[in-house]
Amino acid sequence: MSNPPPRSGYTLPVFACAAAIAALQHLYDAKPRSQVTLNLVKPQQWVEIPIEQVSRLGPSQALAITRSDPGDNLDLTRHTPIWALVEWAAPDQAEPILLKGGEGIGFNQNQGNQPAIYRYAQQLLKQNLSHHLKSGDRIQVTLILPEGRALAARTSNAAFGIVEGLSLLGTSGISQPLSAPQQLEQFRSELRQKAADQKNLVFCVGENGLDIAHILGIPPEDQVKTANWLGPLLVEAGLHSVSSVLLLGYHGKLLKLAGGIFQTHHHLADARLEIMTAYAAKVGLPTPQLQSLLSKATAEAALQFLMNLDQQNHSGWVDKVYGAITEGIDARSQTYIQTHCDRTVQVGSALFNRNRQLFAISASGKTLLKHFVTTPQIDLNL
């Protein structure tokens, strides 16, 4: 008897949008409703989202509550409540719809402490709310995650400068069950389809990797989302005669490959600090600093430690250590492919930091990036 395929769900912005729609509709008609219909935008698909509660809070405010359902995915936001408070705004408000972050929505320290409501979430909310907003009306929408602050403490959000809550992050409304082993076949299928037409691919690790690829101007047809399945997908690329793969991801994730870890989910293996320390020793970091490096709580804290050393001594340890790490990622990835499918694939790596800035690119990575990047202001001379 075969196992049923994993069930997909929806990303957090979808439930925030559904709550906002329900609250706005309630402001207009005060009718109870158990669900709303919305357009996911990406993809262009209409879906129905359950509404848990909706109520007026006065003549000019309404609050609606939904609950997250990410499908068969290991997602810590499962069943978490999402509130949307919608209120009439003054006629002189500059835009018809103003989005605000309330309790549990994080703030982005890298963008002037703006609420961590990313591009797709903004597009989704404004497009759907505009469909219901009557001409001349203006509203303010405050999004609230009552459990967001507590949940954020269990994530790596702070590594990306997101503090005091969760982010409404995502590039699509569909939440694929990326942690389910059955989902690997879908990733392989996507890779095979793209490899039929494109022999040079960019592996984007997670939503942040996809977002950076968009900023760099890398064409969507060249992008392959990998989640944590880097090893199997590297082999799949070799089997389908891909010429080159650029690995684009957060340094705290990709550096695992430099230590030979090719399934990068933290539940399975996490030796980031040990790997960083080993490469730092390889390039000559003194023993006292090695001991300090190994004692750091996170990969981001370890990177900051190296940056502080550079600021104090102009020593260039970040470039030395991460230069060795990126070359290690490339070499071990190429060997991994060769070992498992007897094919040769050029691999390059490009790592970004918590500020979502590229800061470490291997020699091969620079060559491959120049092939893909179409945004002229991007500096590849790192």
- Per the CB < 8 A criterion, the answer to whether 118 and 168 are in contact is yes
Residue with tokens 């990797």: 209
| The two structure tokens encoding residue 42 | 């990406």
- Does 170 lie in the same domain as 194? no
Domain-ending residue, one of 132, 155, 174: 174
Q: How many residues does the chain have?
A: 382
- With a cut of 70, list the residues of the chain below it in pLDDT: 1-5, 74, 159, 177-182, 266-268, 374-382
Residues 47 and 191 both lie in one domain: no
Tens-place pLDDT, residues 309-350: 999 989 999 999 999 999 999 999 999 999 999 899 999 999
Boundary of a domain, candidates 144, 174, 204: 174
Residue 320 within any structural domain of the chain: yes
Residues 240 and 92 in one domain: no
382 within some domain? no
Checking 314-322 for CB contacts under 8 A at 24+ apart, the result is 317/280, 317/283, 317/285, 317/289, 318/359, 318/360, 319/360, 320/283, 320/284, 320/285, 321/276, 321/279, 321/280, 321/283, 321/285, 322/251, 322/351, 322/359, 322/360
pLDDT for res 36: 98
Q: Is residue 195 part of a domain?
A: yes
189/161 same-domain check: no
In this prediction, residue 74 carries a pLDDT of 66
The reply to whether 363 and 217 lie within a common domain is yes
Question: Domain range for residue 211?
Answer: 178-372
Does any domain span residue 102?
Answer: yes
- Is residue 3 in some structural domain? no
What single letter denotes the amino acid at residue 60? S
Q: Is 382 exposed, middle or buried (0-12, 13-18, 19+ CB in 10 A)?
A: middle
> Is 1 within the bounds of a domain?
no
Sheet of 114-115, strands arranged across: 114-115, 107-108, 162-163
Q: What was the pLDDT predicted at 4? A: 64
Assigned token pair, 185:
């076949």
How many structural domains is the chain composed of? 2
* Predicted local confidence at residue 256, as pLDDT: 95
- Does 146 share its domain with 221? no
- The answer to whether 338 and 344 have CB atoms below 8 angstroms apart is yes
Q: Does residue 324 share a domain with residue 195?
A: yes
Q: What is the DSSP letter of 74?
A: -
One domain for residues 290 and 154: no
The pTM for the full model equals 0.68
Amino acid 134: pLDDT:
95
Q: Is residue 379 part of a domain?
A: no
Token pair of 337 as six digits: 């492919």
Q: Are residues 183 and 170 in the same domain?
A: no
Describe the chain by its helix, strand, coil percentages, rounded to 5.
Answer: 40, 20, 35
Where helices occur in the chain by DSSP H, the ranges are 12-29, 119-132, 148-152, 184-195, 206-216, 230-239, 251-254, 272-282, 287-294, 299-313, 317-341, 363-372
For residue 169, give the CATH number of its domain: 3.30.2110.10
pLDDT at 1: 44
In a shared domain, residues 144 and 216:
no
Which of 174, 201, 229 terminates a domain? The answer is 174
Same domain? For 219 and 335 the reply is yes
